[in-house]
Each structure stands twice: as C-alpha cells, then as structure tokens.
Structure 1
Amino acid sequence: MRDVAVVARVSIKTVSNVVNNHPHVHPTTRSRVEKAITELGYRPNFSARGLRSGRTGVIGLAVPELRQNYFAELADAVIAAAEKRSLSVIVGQAGRDRQHEINVLANGLRQTDGLLFSPERLGTEDSAMLDDIDYPLVLLGERIFGGPTDHVTMDNITAARAAVQHLAEKGRTRIAVLGAHPDRREGQLRAADLRVRGYREGLALAELPHDRQLERAVAPWHQEDGARATNELLESGVEFDAIFALNDTLALGALRALGRSGRHIPDDVAVIGFDNITDGRFTLPSLSTVDAGRDEIAETAVAMLVERIDWGSGVRRPPRLHKAHFDIIERESTGGAPARPIDLGAGAK
C-alpha cells in the first residue's frame, strides 16, 4: 500500500479509501490510485484486514446435503445475496448425522463471521443448545422453533394446503401424498410433518375423504425414492388420480414411474411438487410446483445475519421469525401451460 501511495503521489490513507471503496475520494485521485494499483499488481491483504477489524468478510452456510437440488439452489441464492454485500460464503454439509450437526452448531464454520444453519437431525427439543452460542447465527428450515436466535423459514402448512386445493380445483378427488416421514415422533416437527398437516387440511377444505392408504412414507427425498414409492402405490391397487409430492425431487421420480406404467399426465394422474427447482421446468410434462420463497429466504437470512454481525456481542436483542411467501406454479403436470419457451440453440425443432 505504501508503494502504491508513492507511485500515485497520495497518502496511504487515500489508497486505503480507494481500496475500501470510500465514496469521498475525488474521481481524478481515484483514477490515479487505481492505475498505480494495476501497474504494481497490488492485492489487499484481507487476512490482515480481518485481524485488525475482527471480521473476515466471510459467512457460513451449513445445509444437510448438496445432493438435494433445493439446498444446492439455496446455496446459490445465499451466495448471490452475500455478494451484493461484498461477502463471501463457505458452504458446508452438516450431513445426515446428529453429532456432526451438534459439532457444526457448537463451533460454527471456521474463519467465518456468522452462520446460516439448516439442521435436519436436531429439533425443537434441542433448542437449549442455542443458549450458549457466542457467534451470530440464523436458523433456516423447520426443525427448531422458539429458540433464542433469528429464524427464517417457509409457510409449509399453508403452502401444502394450497397445493392440495389446486389439485381439487382441477377435479381430482383421490389425492396421494409422497414423503410422509416414516418414524413420526410425538413432539418433533419436520418439513414432512408440516406439509402432511397441510395436505390433510387441504382435503378437509375440499370436502374430500382422508384415506391413510394414500399417505406414503418416503425417506430420503431423492428421485429414486419418489419412483419407488409411486411404483408401490401403483402395485397396491389403491385408486388415485393425483400425487402431491412433498418435494420436487420426489415428484421427478413419480413422473418417471407413472410414465413407465403407461399413465398419462395429467389426464390419468396430475402431479404437483414442492420447492420449484430448476429441473421441473425441463421435464416432459413440465412440473407444477409450490415456490416456497427460496430467494426471499436467502435474501432475508443474509440480511438478518449481517445485522447480527454488525451489532456485535453487546446487548442481546430478541429473536426474529420470518416466514417467506409462496406461490403455486401451474405447469403441464396439472393441466397448465408449459414452462417458458427455452431457446435450444441452432437446429432445434
């Protein structure tokens, strides 16, 4: 920085102001400093800056698994929201192991200023663990409610209810659900439990009977699991004319199994998923889904975390809960229009 100051004929403080994008630098001076930076190949020492300020300029995101399209696309949205604030993101997989999640929660992710954490194995019964967290933390997802930290989630019950109502409005009367949790335990809440509750409420509002045979337990929520559950439903002989899959990857598997069985979609069976992942636009037919507000979740969570980081470790402020808005995206699998036309390139028909 001293060398840049000599070449640009300015003070070291002025170089620092330019490097940190301080607004009160004359354009001519800024141009001269930037030219000197380019000539000398100067790169700011962000590690040293972090030591001086106590900040790294990096936040962490811990999700269960990046194999799930939703979490991969959530990570992409978080990175975009962080970059707008000149922050970098370290993404970690907490995995499907409870102890690993406890370790992540206890220690955060190394060299980060704060953590966005989406647990899968921890639950509300573990909320006392949050009392001793001494770093900025924002929870994501549906596992821990009522804790002392900020929490950004989706409106699972209402969104699932709306998905069922959408199918009912299409004249469907035998609506199956894929993704109920196989080991439901009293006092525990999961996304599956909340969405099944919404499914049942949707049936009641549509005055449709609730048939336990149409509730299919599936875990994990991958494509192959959706296909297997759909095959089992077909082989059971239980009548159904619609499927509500509790996430889009299960729905993708259901589309495959229904197609192989000779069922026509949506004429014989309508299908709707949950999450609005990109792949759903490219299926044949394109997949109707619930957009549960992934981008809003990412933007809100990053904003909350940055505020917590800026507030520091002073007076403890009360936790905030934010539920993202949702939309029903109607595509071909429930009788809607195809997804937006896609330019497949030269020679495409």
Structure 2
Amino acid sequence: MFGPKWWEGDAFVAGESRGKIWRVRLVKTPHGYVGREFLIARLSMLTLDLAISPKGDLYVCCHSGLPDWGTGPTGEGRIFKISYTDPKAPQPVIAWDDGQPEARVAFDKPLDPSVTNAVVGQQIEFGEYVRAADRYEVLKPPYQAVKQQEAAPRGRLTILSAKLDDDNQTLVLTTDRRPQALTYALTIPGVKTKGSKSGGETIDLDYDQSGVAMGLTKNKLFMDSKLVRDFAREAGMDTWEYIWIGWLPYAGVEFAKPFFGPSKYFAEAERKLGNRTGSHFRIITRPNFPYPDVTLRVKSTSPFGLVSAAGRLAMNSVTGQDGKQFADVVLNE
C-alpha cells in the first residue's frame, strides 16, 4: 500500500483537467455510503491515471498540454513515481471548524511545539470554491463554469494564536470570526516530529463547517429528581451543564471513527462518549439540504428529544417497528 498504514483501503482518484490527486475514504452505513475526500497532490500536467506498485510506490501517468485534450495521441507523456519515504513524519488526519472560532487539525503523531510559532500570523483563505493549495494550480479548463468559480469572492482570516492539544497531536488555531459556511484553505509551515532538528515541511489542507457538535451533559446538583427539574424549568433555571463538547464529521460514533485514523482527539472523544452512565448526549447541527420539503428521520437506540434553535419545534422520539426510537421532521424552509 501507499502512505501510512491507516490509509489502507482508501481510493486514490486522479483529476485529469485540474492536475489533482485525492485520497478518498468511504464508510458503509445501514443507509448507504458516507465519504470524505482529501487532496494530497497538485501536478502541472494532465493527470490521467494512478497505480500502486507491489513495493508501495504511487505511479502517476500524465499527459502534456492544456486541458482538456492536451497535445493529443502523439503528444508527450510522463510517468512519475511518488514514494512514501518518511513514516516517522506526522501526517494530518482531518481538519475541522469547532465554532469557537477555532480550527483544529488532528495529526497521527505528536508535533514539535515550534509549529505553533510558525503558523501564527498566517492567512486562511476562504470562499465557495477555495480548496487546499490553490496557489499551485496551473491547469484550468477553459469553461465558463471554471471562469465563474475563479470570479467568486474570496476572503482571508488571520491566525491569531496557536497551541497543541491531545499530547501534541492536535493543532488548535484561534482565528478571526468566520463569516460564512464556506471552504477554508489552511497552510501550515514547519510541521515536523517532536524534537526534530529539521526545518519541517509545509502542509496544505482545507476544511468546512460540516459535521455535528456533540456534547456530553449531566444534571446539575440537586437536579436528578424529575420533579425538581420541572420546577426549575418553570422558574427559568438551567437544569444541566456540559462536561464535554466536541465535533464529529457524522452523528454516529461508529461511522465517524474511520475518518479519524490514529487520532488522540477521537480516542478521547470515543472514551468519553462510551461512558454514558449518568450523562446525556446533545447533538447540535444545522441541516443544509439542496432542495426544500425534506423529511429528516433521526434514529437512536435510546429515547431522545428534538428541539430547534428558535424553539419553534420540540418533539420526542417514538418506538418504531424495529424496536428503535425515531422522530420525523419535515423541513420546508
């Protein structure tokens, strides 16, 4: 296989006209597949096909000329070999926006603390069509859609501060407040293993505001009694408090786990979410569907309640024929 051990089973996809290579992870669920793509390379030639050798090298077949057709069947082509030569180097696992405003990047190995100094003051570019390492793109198909993407507004955020969390495996970046739910492209210089004397490598990645916030709550002192809780609610008092809050790309822990690889962040999240005694889950998200009049079904093995942010909708789950709890919500806005 090519890359770290935890890449095993991923697909590698070539984007011919834009000179891109993605690593794609798919996870099967009872309702179909969920997936996430990670851009791992940009090339200056038309990228036609990929193959992994028995020794674990990635061979890339490229064609010369401009998109879409290049220099034709008699034009020059090249084959490049990409090798994974430093298995000790930290690799980014996943990046996300946790809404603080903070961005977090989980790595598979501890980072040298110097990365926090290298990244402060860097700019994060954002926009509807922004993607990682756009500065390296030299191939642009001559289509109107591409021209419209190029003309779309772009903005920049400044990284104000940085720190390491989860035993130096999660980089936490405090930024200006993010204005919209768009794609954010991040460049991280000086990435190296802890204690390394080298200058490190520069890593490009992107993230958006998809996923769910998952909180673990418990009743406040003296609020274990339902009678006391009901009285407190009538008086306008909070009856619970957060003991942990985090982010997952999907609401189901078992479906989110494959996207985190050997991440210390997820290992801790899984440990806390797995110990549910005396605690409650709160899942916070904003559904964003491409068309109106959608029925959203939420299912669980335990009873739950649904509440909208504005308080206009509140309902409890019911038991389905399969014995599981569910609730249907019609979204028409």
Bin the TM-score by the shorter chain: under 0.3
TM-score, normalized by length of structure 1? 0.22
